[in-house]
């Protein structure tokens, strides 16, 4: 009888525990409660928060099942959002899956570092000046084996855990740059350019080209100019050196001396001027075979390419006349 009674108690306990485990959800309605699991947090601390925020009740059973699932030793840090009805089962399942909030951020092709800093600042709730500071942090750059961050924050959409440190986000972008480009940049490079110079040239191509199909042609113009020792005379580099003002270039701007003014200085600027996409990097590596030395935007997104300065000036006059019709 004692054995039977003992088994009966155990069965009742298991049935009751299972029922409580799945039943009695706490209904929060449309209210969203965020629970942050910090690195090093014990499950007891998290359980206290879940109960205090009225996500769940039944802390003893919650902790007991968490121990059985080994969740008390393997919580993944992050922000977990809860809404609607939550039983012990659904709460533990969310924690076990590491179903934390992921922050979406998109670095777009052609974004200079201060624009990327604004994107990261909004997504990660950091000071936008922090990324610009990292761009000048010699120890951080040495760890990444990079001359600078500009040009190496690969343009793409990223999903990061809420609370991701800025340095970790930057490392993810640089890792994506290497993943996408190392097979290209580790091979033979055109025109005796270094890897860094290819990325710099790609950033200029990215800034100049509105249409991907024109990138190899624009690339050929710059390769031809570099080979002949001509100044690149690239407007985007001048704008970058002036802090990227959102206005047309003036004659005074073209005479303003900065290291990025390719109207005044021969060769490539000292660093990239934005985050070039893969198509721009491929164009920098594989320019079309042309004899073009000049190009001008025609107002439709296309460019008119010329071999001589006389041709170029005629094209400019023709485009100006068309614009005033």
Complete DSSP assignment for 146-176 = -S-STT-S--SEEEEETT--HHHHHHHHHHH
Contacts 24+ apart (CB under 8 A), 45-53: 46/75, 46/95, 50/91
pLDDT band per the 50, 70, 90 thresholds, residue 10: very low
Q: Are residues 204 and 317 in the same domain?
A: yes
Domain boundary among 74, 96, 118: 96
Each residue of 215-245: pLDDT tens digit? 999 999 999 999 999 999 999 999 999 998 7
Burial bucket for residue 309 (CB in 10 Å: 0-12, 13-18, 19+): exposed
**Which residue bears the tokens 């490079």?**
189
Q: Are residues 199 and 318 in the same domain?
A: yes
Each residue of 185-226: pLDDT tens digit? 998 999 899 999 999 999 999 999 999 999 999 999 999 999
In-domain check, residue 10: no
Tell me which residue of 210, 200, 306, 215 sits closest to 259, measured CA to CA: 200
Q: Are residues 197 and 314 in the same domain?
A: yes
Q: Are residues 114 and 84 in the same domain?
A: no
Q: In the numeric block, which tokens belong to residue 30?
A: 């449309």
Q: Are residues 181 and 204 in the same domain?
A: no
pLDDT band per the 50, 70, 90 thresholds, residue 16: very low
In-domain check, residue 37: yes
In-domain check, residue 82: yes
Residue 82 pairs in a beta bridge with: 33
Q: Measure CA of the first residue to CA of the last residue in the chain; give whole Å.
A: 105
Candidate from 13-22, 107-116, 278-287, 288-297 with smallest mean pLDDT: 13-22
- Give the C-alpha separation, 112 to 206, whole Å: 11
- Give the C-alpha separation, 128 to 165, whole Å: 13
Domain boundary among 66, 96, 126: 96
In this predicted structure, the answer to whether residue 155 has a pLDDT above a threshold of 50 is: yes
In-domain check, residue 139: yes
In-domain check, residue 5: no
Tell me which residue of 188, 156, 182, 186 sits closest to 169, measured CA to CA: 156
Q: In the numeric block, which tokens belong to residue 213?
A: 């199909």
Q: Are residues 263 and 232 in the same domain?
A: yes
Q: Percent of the chain beyond pLDDT 70?
A: 91
Which helix (DSSP H) or strand (DSSP E) does residue 10 occupy? helix 2-22
Q: Are residues 197 and 319 in the same domain?
A: yes
Q: What pLDDT is recorded for position 148?
A: 97
pTM: predicted TM-score of the whole model, two decimal places? 0.81
CATH assignment of the domain containing 144: 3.30.1490
Each residue of 27-77: pLDDT tens digit? 666 788 888 888 888 888 898 898 888 888 777 878 887 788 777 777 888
- Give the C-alpha separation, 296 to 317, whole Å: 11
Mean pLDDT of 246-251: 85
Q: Are residues 78 and 201 in the same domain?
A: no
Range of the domain at 57: 18-96
In-domain check, residue 2: no
Q: Percent of the chain beyond pLDDT 90?
A: 59
Q: Are residues 274 and 308 in the same domain?
A: yes
Residue 308 has what DSSP assignment? Answer: S
Q: What is the dihedral of CA 45, 46, 48, 52, to 10 degrees?
A: 140
Tell me which residue of 215, 116, 152, 249 sits closest to 241, measured CA to CA: 249
Q: Which residue has the higher pLDDT, 173 or 8?
A: 173
The structural domain count of the chain equals 3
Q: What pLDDT is recorded for position 39?
A: 80
Residue 304 pairs in a beta bridge with: 296
- CA distance readout (Å), 122 to 17, 116, 119: 44, 10, 5
Domain boundary among 185, 201, 223: 185
Tell me which residue of 274, 267, 154 sits closest to 205, measured CA to CA: 274
In-domain check, residue 146: yes
Q: In the numeric block, which tokens belong to residue 74?
A: 């393997």
pLDDT band per the 50, 70, 90 thresholds, residue 161: confident
Residue 33 pairs in a beta bridge with: 82
Q: Are residues 214 and 164 in the same domain?
A: no
């Amino acid at each position: 009888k004692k054995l039977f009674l003992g088994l009966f108690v155990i069965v009742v306990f298991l049935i009751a525990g299972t029922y409580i485990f799945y039943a009695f959800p706490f209904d929060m309605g449309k209210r969203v409660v965020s629970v942050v699991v910090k690195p090093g947090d014990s499950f007891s601390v998290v359980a206290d928060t879940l109960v205090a925020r009225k996500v769940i009740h039944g802390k003893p059973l919650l902790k007991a099942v968490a121990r059985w699932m080994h969740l008390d030793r393997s919580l993944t840090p992050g922000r977990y959002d809860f809404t609607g009805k939550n039983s012990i089962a659904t709460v533990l399942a969310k924690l076990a899956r590491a179903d934390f909030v992921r922050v979406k951020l998109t670095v777009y092709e052609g974004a200079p570092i201060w624009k990327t800093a604004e994107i990261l600042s909004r997504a990660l709730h950091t000071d936008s000046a922090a990324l610009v500071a990292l761009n000048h942090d010699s120890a951080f750059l040495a760890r990444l084996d990079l001359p600078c961050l500009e040009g190496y924050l690969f343009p793409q959409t990223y999903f990061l855990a809420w609370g991701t440190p800025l340095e970790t986000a930057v490392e993810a972008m640089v890792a994506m740059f290497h993943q996408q480009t190392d097979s290209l940049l580790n091979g033979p490079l055109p025109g005796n350019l270094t890897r860094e110079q290819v990325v710099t040239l790609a950033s200029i191509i990215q800034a100049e080209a509105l249409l991907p199909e024109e990138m190899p042609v624009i690339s050929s113009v710059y390769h031809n100019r570099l080979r002949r020792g001509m100044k690149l005379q690239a407007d985007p580099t001048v704008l970058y050196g002036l802090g990227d003002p959102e206005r047309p270039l003036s004659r005074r701007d073209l005479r303003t001396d900065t290291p990025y003014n390719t109207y005044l200085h021969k060769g490539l600027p000292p660093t990239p001027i934005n985050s070039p996409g893969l198509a721009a990097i491929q164009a920098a590596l594989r320019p079309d075979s042309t004899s073009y030395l000049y190009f001008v935007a025609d107002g439709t997104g296309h460019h008119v390419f010329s071999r001589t300065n006389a041709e170029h000036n005629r094209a400019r006059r023709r485009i100006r006349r068309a614009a005033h019709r």
